[in-house]
């Protein structure tokens, strides 16, 4: 039984970077969202186990997604992957319920360690 995965980033390259870094069983059926709004709509209509979430995005940013999911009690495991590495931002996303903060560009070992720590590998 596999886990369902959603990758949300406005950059095509960043989405591919995440997909490429994931083990096959997680990347095979992963779905993609180009901004926070798309992600929230997908998360309302289907259940996802894991959300990889960028922060700096047009339309609805990553913090907006975290807030919306919290209010609507939608609870995938959220891994934030962002270039905004300020400690205050890292604390903020953890407070809003993210499992972990990973800095861009995402490193395959770091990603896998985090997935293991949270029981997805």
Contact region with another protein (CB under 8 A), list: 9-17, 26-34, 45-53, 93-101 = 9-17
Instruction: State in angstroms the smallest separation of the CB of 57 from another protein.
Output: 8
Residue selected from 2, 16, 95, 108 as contacting another protein according to rule CB under 8 A:
16
> What is the x/- site pattern for another protein, positions 43-82, by CB under 8 A?
-------------xxx-----------------------x
Residue selected from 62, 84, 93, 114 as contacting another protein according to rule CB under 8 A:
84
CA pair distance 7, 17, nearest whole angstrom = 10
Residue among 13, 46, 7, 62 nearest 30 (CA):
7
Which regions of the chain does DSSP assign to beta strands (E)?
5-8, 31-33, 50-53, 77-82, 100-103
CA pair distance 92, 111, nearest whole angstrom = 20
Instruction: State in angstroms the smallest separation of the CB of 81 from another protein.
Output: 11
Contacts (Cβ under 8 Å, ≥6 apart) of 103: 81, 82, 83, 85
3-state SS class at 100:
strand
**Binding to another protein by residue 99, rule CB under 8 A?**
no
Size of the site for another protein (CB under 8 A): 20
Rg (CA), the chain: 13
Q: Which residues bind another protein (CB under 8 A)?
A: 10-14, 16-17, 20, 56-58, 82-86, 88-89, 104-105
């Amino acid at each position: 039984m596999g886990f369902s995965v959603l990758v949300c980033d406005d950059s095509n390259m960043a989405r591919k970077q995440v997909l490429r870094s994931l083990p096959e069983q997680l990347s095979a059926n992963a779905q993609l969202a180009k901004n926070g709004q798309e992600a929230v709509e997908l998360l309302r209509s289907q259940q996802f186990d894991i959300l990889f979430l960028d922060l700096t995005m047009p339309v609805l940013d990553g913090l907006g997604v975290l807030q919306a999911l919290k209010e609507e009690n939608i609870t995938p495991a959220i891994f934030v992957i962002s270039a905004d590495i300020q400690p205050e931002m890292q604390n903020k996303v953890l407070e809003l319920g993210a499992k972990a903060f990973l800095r861009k560009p995402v490193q395959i070992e770091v990603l896998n360690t985090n997935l293991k720590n949270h029981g997805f590998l």
